[in-house]
A = this chain, B = another copy of it.
């Protein structure tokens, strides 16, 4: 019974019901779970602890939530509702950067977001909204549709990976009372053996580890640069690809340059202009 994605869809997209005066409810469970995960991370989130926090037995939760996995899905969509600032206008780069930074900040507040694993999480309305914002930042560009999607996924995964790194170090630091720097500084028995690695030694002597780059800032800048390079390349050949689906255009028979690859694409574009 742990596997009913359609049930998950219903829970995620359900209308918010009013809370009962007493007793459990889905929203109360989700809120308690979010608090717990904020404090102890996703690994520290257990059905027992959530139930304890609410003053009920463990199994009582299962009357409202199909299981732990679904609970995490619900938690995700709950916190993804925060900060609904509408995306500002501007060129694609500033917009995409802003969306990435918002995702980053959100993971600062709820680090467990980056710890969620698995590829079959049904998105709720807020997850889709965030995704749409990211896609929206890139849709105006010369990128092909599949490239827009790939780029959004790339940036999203980057943010998660960096956030994961950060939360892991932070939690370990809090747990052990030893900072990352102190811990690695005490690994003399390791450093004694690193002489015969040339690049490592060179960088060490050059002070490469003295003032490390901010890995989120550095990575984000490289990523945006990389996407920009592709967009520039696509811009150069923009007139040779279908404006709707991005496939390469056959050379036009007549003198007039073609814009769409097929009647279907032209009509799709036209219809959208009417409705949107």
A binding-site residues for B, Cβ under 8 Å: 3, 5-6, 9-10, 13, 117-120, 122-123, 125, 128-129, 131-133, 135-136, 139, 144-151, 153-154, 157-158, 160-162, 164-165, 168-169, 172, 176, 180, 183-184, 186-187, 189-190, 193-194, 197-200, 202-203, 205-213, 215, 218-219, 221-230, 244-246, 268, 272, 276
B residues near A199, Cβ cutoff 8 Å: 132-133, 135-136, 139
Q: Kindly state the separation between the CA atoms of A117 and B132 in the bound complex, as whole angstroms.
A: 30
B residues near A211, Cβ cutoff 8 Å: 146
Q: A161-B157, A202-B276 are in contact. Are A187 and B122 (CB under 8 A)?
A: yes
Q: How far is the CB of A172 from chain B (nearest CB, A)?
A: 6
B residues near A132, Cβ cutoff 8 Å: 197-200
Q: How far is the CB of A121 from chain B (nearest CB, A)?
A: 11
* Contact present for B226 and A136 (CB under 8 Å): no
* Contact of A161 (CB < 8 Å), options: B144, B158, B198, B208: B158
* Contact present for B145 and A222 (CB under 8 Å): no
Q: List 20 A-B contacts (CB under 8 A).
A: A3-B176, A5-B183, A6-B187, A117-B164, A131-B197, A132-B197, A145-B208, A146-B209, A149-B208, A149-B209, A151-B222, A157-B161, A157-B162, A157-B219, A205-B272, A221-B230, A222-B223, A222-B229, A223-B226, A228-B229
Q: How far is the CB of A153 from chain B (nearest CB, A)?
A: 6
* Contact present for A222 and B218 (CB under 8 Å): no
Q: Kindly state the separation between the CA atoms of A135 and B215 in the bound complex, as whole angstroms.
A: 16
* Contact present for B215 and A246 (CB under 8 Å): no
Name 19 extra pairs, CB < 8 A, besides A9-B187, A118-B172: A3-B176, A10-B189, A120-B172, A123-B190, A125-B193, A135-B203, A136-B198, A144-B208, A145-B207, A147-B213, A149-B212, A150-B213, A157-B161, A157-B219, A205-B268, A206-B246, A221-B230, A222-B229, A225-B230
* Contact present for A213 and B13 (CB under 8 Å): no
* Contact of A139 (CB < 8 Å), options: B153, B203, B222, B272: B203
Q: Kindly state the separation between the CA atoms of A254 and B141 in the bound complex, as whole angstroms.
A: 49
B residues near A180, Cβ cutoff 8 Å: 119-120
B residues near A169, Cβ cutoff 8 Å: 119
* Contact present for B172 and A215 (CB under 8 Å): no
* Contact present for B150 and A215 (CB under 8 Å): yes
Q: Kindly state the separation between the CA atoms of A164 and B116 in the bound complex, as whole angstroms.
A: 12
